[in-house]
């Protein structure tokens, strides 16, 4: 079943076409090439090209077990009136295990007839070992009889010589949950996965990722969450149903400012 998950870093893929006056349009005369289109992240207000994507199950509901993603692949040559297969390999740098952490949706990868873009479909599996470890899935485009890998990389930092690859894309996959930026200990108390998901359930927070956005979860809202949760915890204790942290020993409490 397809699930939606939170992605710590937001990735934008551009499926660009060719725009121009029909009168002046010149067709591509060279060999057909294939590449991963640019994706971006923002750093210090600048848009920086990247060749990797972070995918985290951390903010997904605990019942979510998998998610399906689609990575675009583009050509830089002529379109064709037939489907054309392109070649993809998984490099030895990958630590994700096929059948355990992921499944390819197809063993054959196609640029459809009369199209400049194809997709790679991958089903990602949520596993217990992702709670404290990143897994890498490194995809590499290879040459075949249909396509060359003409555009391989570009220097994105002239000082360090760092490059962005056009033929290799890395997926970082994990379920590592970090304390949201709106989580203020003085109101929310010690952070834990159990407390976070209990709060989301009781306060009907539909998207837990909102807690990592301080423009959505403001300080007044954080104070409300802390106060609301402490009242609930007090009521449960009074009923003889004390809520404990994940260790089963430590009583769950909120921060000192809402006690």
Q: Is residue 28 part of a domain?
A: no
The answer to whether residues 211 and 164 belong to one domain is: no
Q: Mean pLDDT in each 10-residue stretch from start to end of the chain (259 residues)?
A: 40 36 42 80 51 86 82 92 96 97 96 96 95 95 94 84 90 92 95 93 88 91 96 96 95 95
**End position of a domain, from candidates 174, 209, 235:** 174
154 and 78 fall within a common domain: yes
Asked whether residue 207 falls in the same domain as residue 153, the answer is no
Please state, in angstroms and rounded to a whole number, the distance separating the CA atoms of residues 178 and 212.
9
In eight-state DSSP terms, residue 201 is: H
Same domain? For 189 and 167 the reply is no
| Predicted model pTM | 0.71
Domain count, the chain: 2
| 70 shares its domain with 193 | no
Read off the tokens for 17. Answer: 């076409």
Residue 49: its pLDDT value, please?
53
96 and 189 part of one domain: no
Q: How far is CA 58 from the centre of its chain?
A: 10
One domain, residues 125 and 200: no
- My answer on whether 57 and 153 are in the same domain is yes
Domain hosting 44: range is: 34-174
**Residue bearing tokens 């200990």:** 185
């Amino acid at each position: 079943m397809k699930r939606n998950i939170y992605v710590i870093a937001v990735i934008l893929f551009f499926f660009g076409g060719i725009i121009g006056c029909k009168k002046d349009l010149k067709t591509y005369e060279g060999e057909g090439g294939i590449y991963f289109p640019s994706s971006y992240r923002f750093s210090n207000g600048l848009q920086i090209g990247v060749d990797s994507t972070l995918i985290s199950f951390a903010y997904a509901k605990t019942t979510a077990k998998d998610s399906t993603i689609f990575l675009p692949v583009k050509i830089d040559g002529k379109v064709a009136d037939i489907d054309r297969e392109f070649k993809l390999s998984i490099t030895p740098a990958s630590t994700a295990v096929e059948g355990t952490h992921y499944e390819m949706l197809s063993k054959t990868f196609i640029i459809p007839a009369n199209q400049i873009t194809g997709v790679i479909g991958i089903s990602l599996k949520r596993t217990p070992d992702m709670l404290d470890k990143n897994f890498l899935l490194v995809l590499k485009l290879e040459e075949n009889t249909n396509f060359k890998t003409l555009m391989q990389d570009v220097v994105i930092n002239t000082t360090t010589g760092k490059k962005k690859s056009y033929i290799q894309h890395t997926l970082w996959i994990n379920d590592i949950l970090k304390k949201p930026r709106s989580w203020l200990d003085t109101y929310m108390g010690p952070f834990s996965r159990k407390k976070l998901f209990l709060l989301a359930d009781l306060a009907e927070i539909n998207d837990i990722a909102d807690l990592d956005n301080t423009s959505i979860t403001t300080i007044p809202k954080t104070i409300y969450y802390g106060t609301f949760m402490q009242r609930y915890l007090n009521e449960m204790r009074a009923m003889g149903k004390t809520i404990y942290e994940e260790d089963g020993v430590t009583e769950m409490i909120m921060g000192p400012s809402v006690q």
